[in-house]
Amino acid sequence: MVNSILFCATVDYHFKAFHLPYMKWFKEQGWDVHVAASGEIELPYVDRKFTIPIERSPFSLKNMTAYRELKDIINGNQYRIIHCHTPMGGVLARLAARGARKSGTKVIYTAHGFHFCKGAPIQNWMLYYPIEKMLSRYTDCLITINEEDYTLAKQHFNVPIIEHVHGVGVNTEIFKPIPECEKAARKKSFGYEPDDFLLFYAAEFNENKNQQMLIKSLAFIKEEVPNAKLLLAGEGTLQAPCKELANRLEVEHMVHFLGFRKDIPELLPMCDVAVASSLREGLPVNMMEAMACGLPIVASLNRGHRELVKEHHNGWVVSSTDVEGFTNKLKLLAASEDIRRQMGMTGRGMVESTFSVQQIINEKSRVYQSYMKEKEVEKWAVH
């Protein structure tokens, strides 16, 4: 009988964006790969895909239907491993797999940044912490992606195995630096001047991502660094207020709203600095991609940014309320190409040694292999 694994998340795009290398790895080991999520995306390396109506909101009644369907899927297949991701995917899969665990199925959950953390709103702790605490009893292995979450989980959750894996990995062949001559040519191809000082941030426009901080920073540097341009990729409900703020601060000519983009690997390497302003992060992929492209980082202080940015080595983290301190770092980078280059090289080296796809495959395969060893399963019960 062929061994099989089920990957579960709220939406299938999550797998397309972050997990295809690990599905490919399972196929190379001779396993069948199944996926359960909402959405109609066709995924490579997948033998069977189940579309179920998972909703992000924990209060949606559709999640009851998704739970029943997921339970039937799990009980109808002899999965050796179930690996679940995202808050609702993790909740429903662990509840639905309770019966299968009695027959030997192992359940892994990756927390891509707990919603409760230092500095998080009290309502996050009141809602999400008790749920995660309860679900820990139905989890065989909890994977965290930053040190703060790992420490918290070790202190508070009764899970047999808790691992720290360094995120989902960055493809360093796709995200990589380009020579200075090519950088100038690429800037021109996108409508910028070779000496424009390009700041880049890709994120949804929402309250957490806090793009207003970056726009305010431009108002502080517009006289000293008039060639600065802030490139904001993404969409969201707060895009219009951000445009209004740029107009009010008279920096609208310096802020470029790029919308949803599929060409981030082409845009990033031509930029000079990656900026990030979010209030909370688990371990942000957009920052790792920027580091892989050789960009120095100036970011707001949170657990995810603190994990990636080593002060004075590949960038700086600054309090999200310290706009002046943030802009001082931008001025320093604008004034020194040497500092930008050195910090960028350091960040690239960090990604290659710790955060690349290959490194994460090595870390995850060690976790998976502990559950993949051949052992007799006397009976797979259908509950």
- What is the SS3 assignment for 223? coil
**If you write DSSP's letter for every residue of 134-172 in order, what string do you get?**
HHGGG-SEEEESSHHHHHHHHHH---SEEEE---S-B-T
- pLDDT in tens for each of the 383 residues of the chain? 689 999 999 999 999 999 999 999 999 999 999 999 999 999 999 999 999 999 988 888 999 999 999 999 999 999 999 999 999 999 999 999 999 999 999 999 999 987 766 666 677 667 678 888 899 999 999 999 999 999 989 998 989 999 999 999 999 999 999 999 999 999 999 999 999 999 999 999 999 999 999 999 999 999 999 999 999 999 999 999 999 999 999 999 999 999 999 999 999 999 999 999 999 998 999 999 999 999 999 999 999 999 999 999 999 999 999 999 999 999 999 999 999 999 999 999 999 999 999 999 999 999 999 999 755 343 333 33
Task: Give pLDDT, residue 383.
Answer: 37
Asked if 278 and 208 touch (Cβ cutoff 8 Å), the reply is: yes
Task: Give pLDDT, residue 356.
Answer: 97
Task: Give pLDDT, residue 131.
Answer: 83
Task: Give pLDDT, residue 275.
Answer: 98
Q: Which residue has the tokens 């061994």?
A: 3
- What is the SS3 assignment for 310? coil
Q: How far apart are CA 295 and CA 314, in angstroms?
A: 8
The angle that helices 20-28 and 357-372 make with each other, rounded to 10 degrees, is 50
Q: What is the dihedral of CA 183, 189, 192, 193, to 10 degrees?
A: 60
Q: Which residue has the tokens 């109609």?
A: 40
Spatial CB neighbours of 322, under 8 Å, sequence gap ≥ 6 = none
Domains of the chain: 4-169+358-372 (3.40.50.2000), 180-355 (3.40.50.2000)
Task: Give pLDDT, residue 225.
Answer: 96
Q: How far apart are CA 68 and CA 21, in angstroms?
A: 29
Angle formed at CA 93 by CA 49 and CA 55, multiple of 5 degrees: 75
The predicted model scores a pTM of 0.90
15 vs 19, 36, 85, 88, 378, CA distance in Å?
A: 5, 10, 9, 15, 32
Spatial CB neighbours of 77, under 8 Å, sequence gap ≥ 6 = 4, 6, 34
Asked if 68 and 48 touch (Cβ cutoff 8 Å), the reply is: no
